Amino acid sequence: MPRGRIPFQFSIPSPARYGLRKASIPASILAMAVASYTSSVTKVADFGPVPDDASTKPHHITKNGSVVGFQNPYPSYQQVTPSIMFNRIVWPMVMGKLKWPDTMPPTVDVLKPEFLPSRNASDKLRATWLGHACFYVEFPSGLRVLFDPVFEDRCSPFSFLGPKRYTQRPCDFAALPHVDAVVISHSHYDHLSYPSVLEIQKHHPNAHFFVGLGLESWFKKGGLHNVTELDWWDDTQLSLTLDKNIDSANARNPESITATISCLPCQHTSGRTLFDRDSTLWCSWAVTSGGKSVWFGGDTGYRAVVHEGMDPDSPEFRALPTCPQFTQIGELRGPFDLGLIPIGAYYPRTAMSGMHADPYDSVDIFSDTRCSHALGMHWGTWVLTMEEVLEPPRLLQDAMKRKGLPATGIFDVCKIGESKEY
Ligand SMILES: [Zn+2]
């Protein structure tokens, strides 16, 4: 099926609005901030195994031979329609049957993060949670990857309206010692922020952005040209070569760093305006470097439930169709040393389950993808849905026990700003 241009490109605000026009960054700052590595990105055809049903691109919506949008190809997805939103969220709230979650402190602890002193300081994989779906991952090869960075107070098109953080961001971008790759799961505001990606470019001008189909032109229009867009099951090789002219005295930096970055499926949706729904692709990602591998789940559902309060152990629940793509990812691209897996923004289930996993789904996703360890994300930062803000980690432990797995030590949560090693 031919791949064409995405006709629905949403507008982005002027960079000048944020005082970050490219021309406004003094050359001296750019020169100081330039990482001492030259990076190259190569798409690798036929790199990894692909499931049989992927070749027909069932997630592409085409018109006259061009891709005009994307869809979830399995019955495990249910779209949230305006009537579902009204009947299951708005009306119950009006009637007092659904309450806005209480975010009064204490909720989730926030620590000032500490990062490794140099690129080769550890032979472990090290992940630091920076809130919601943002992780900073230090690979033993020296590679540094930032996933879904959003550092604003609100995840919204507006600075004065929309969900506001109830836990503080643990640091600024200037605190991150290196950023080689930035991996974006999809276009929703809690995962992709224009001011944040501009800030990253300012502090880390060599950082390369990896995005799903349809988002490359959004970055380029915004003045960010180090960007590669990929379709599900596409693979790239990222190579970093030390620039010895700049860094000749620093023996602590490895001479070269390589990584495989793969775009993989998930079950979700996308959009930044009322007019661009599902016009860009939502993705999960695998990053492998220095013998360690991470699977980043992004934002995903797993099964669409039919009524509230279903017992996860009931035959009725277990008979619901589940998204087969996670088993495909595990069998064809796993195992992974670490899964970064969403566990929040799931209630009411009859409205949210198609696109947001609850912890019972998250543990199934963890098993399907063959991650040996996992950290829960997509909670503890913004109120996006109606579950109690501290419920996701409680249900996660219950879900692990019900699956016959240890409640802690395998699939955990951490404090915002905390680092875990694997
Ligand atoms: Zn989303």
Work out the angle between the directed axes of helices 359-368 and 325-333 (0-180°, nearest 10): 30
User: Residue 292 Cα, ligand 1 centroid: separation in angstroms?
Assistant: 27
Give the bridge partners for 294, in sequence order.
287, 338
Coil, helix or strand at residue 328: helix
Q: Residue 268 C-alpha to ligand 1 middle, in angstroms?
A: 7
Identify the pLDDT of residue 250: 59
CA 351 to ligand 1 center in whole angstroms: 14
CA of 123 to the centre of ligand 1 (A): 33
Question: pLDDT tens string for the chain (422 positions)?
Answer: 334 333 333 334 443 333 333 333 343 333 333 448 999 999 999 888 999 989 899 999 999 999 999 999 999 999 888 888 888 888 998 998 889 999 999 999 999 999 999 999 999 999 999 999 999 999 999 999 999 999 999 998 888 888 999 999 999 999 999 999 999 999 999 999 999 999 999 999 999 999 999 999 999 999 999 999 999 999 999 999 998 776 555 567 899 999 999 999 999 999 999 999 999 999 999 999 999 999 999 999 999 998 999 999 999 999 999 999 999 999 999 999 999 999 999 999 999 999 999 999 999 999 999 999 999 999 999 999 999 999 999 999 999 999 999 999 999 999 999 999 99
Q: Which residues are annotated as a binding site?
A: 189, 356
Q: DSSP letters of 50-104? A: --GGGTT-TTEEEETTEEEEE---STT-----HHHHIIIIIHHHHTTSS-PPP-P
Question: How far apart, in whole angstroms, are the C-alpha atoms of residue 261 and residue 141?
Answer: 14
323 C-alpha to ligand 1 centroid (Å): 17
CA of 282 to the centre of ligand 1 (A): 8
Q: State in Å: Cα 329 to ligand 1 middle.
A: 20
Q: Give the integer Cα–Cα distance in Å for 105 and 389.
A: 11
Q: What's the confidence (pLDDT) of residue 221? A: 97
Q: Name 230's bridge partners.
A: 212
If phi > 0 it is left, if psi is from -120 to 50 it is alpha, else beta; for residue 3 that is: beta
d(CA 110, CA 416): 5
Give 326 Cα–ligand 1 centroid separation in angstroms: 18
**Residue whose C-alpha is closest to residue 370's, from 336, 411, 323, 407:** 336
Q: Give the SS3 label for residue 33.
A: helix
CA 344 – ligand 1 centroid, Å: 11
Cβ-based neighbour number of residue 75 at 10 Å:
12
* Domains in the chain, CATH or no CATH each: 34-421 (3.60.15.10)
The one-letter code for the residue type at 327 is: T
3-class DSSP state of 195: helix
How far, in Å, CA of 214 to CA of 218, rounded? 8
Instruction: Write the DSSP symbol of residue 169.
Output: -
Q: Residue 380's pLDDT is what?
A: 97
CA atoms within 13 A on the CB side of 97: 8
Question: 413 in helix, strand or coil?
Answer: coil
Local structure of 187: helix, strand or coil: coil
Residue 40 alpha carbon to ligand 1 centre in Å: 29
Identity of residue 118: S
Give pTM, 2 decimals.
Answer: 0.91
d(CA 212, ligand 1 centre) in Å: 13
Q: Give which of 293, 345, 284 is closest to 132, Cα–Cα.
A: 345
With beta carbons less than 8 A apart as the criterion, state whether 305 and 317 touch: yes
Q: Pick the closest to residue 152 from 168, 140, 129 (CA basis).
A: 168
Would you put residue 391 in left (φ > 0), alpha (ψ -120 to 50) or beta?
A: alpha
Distance 267 CA to ligand 1 centre (A): 10
Report whether 15 contacts 223 (CB < 8 A): yes
CA dist 275 and 225 (Å) reads 25
The DSSP line for 110-126 is B------SSTTS-SS-E
User: Using an 8 Å Cβ cutoff, are 213 and 7 in contact?
Assistant: no
Q: How far apart, in whole angstroms, are the C-alpha atoms of residue 417 and residue 111? A: 5
C-alpha torsion sign, points 269, 413, 373, 152: positive
Q: Which residues, 6+ apart, have CB-to-CB distance to 35 below 8 Å?
A: 178, 180, 204, 205, 206, 207
The DSSP H or E segment spanning 393 is helix 391-402
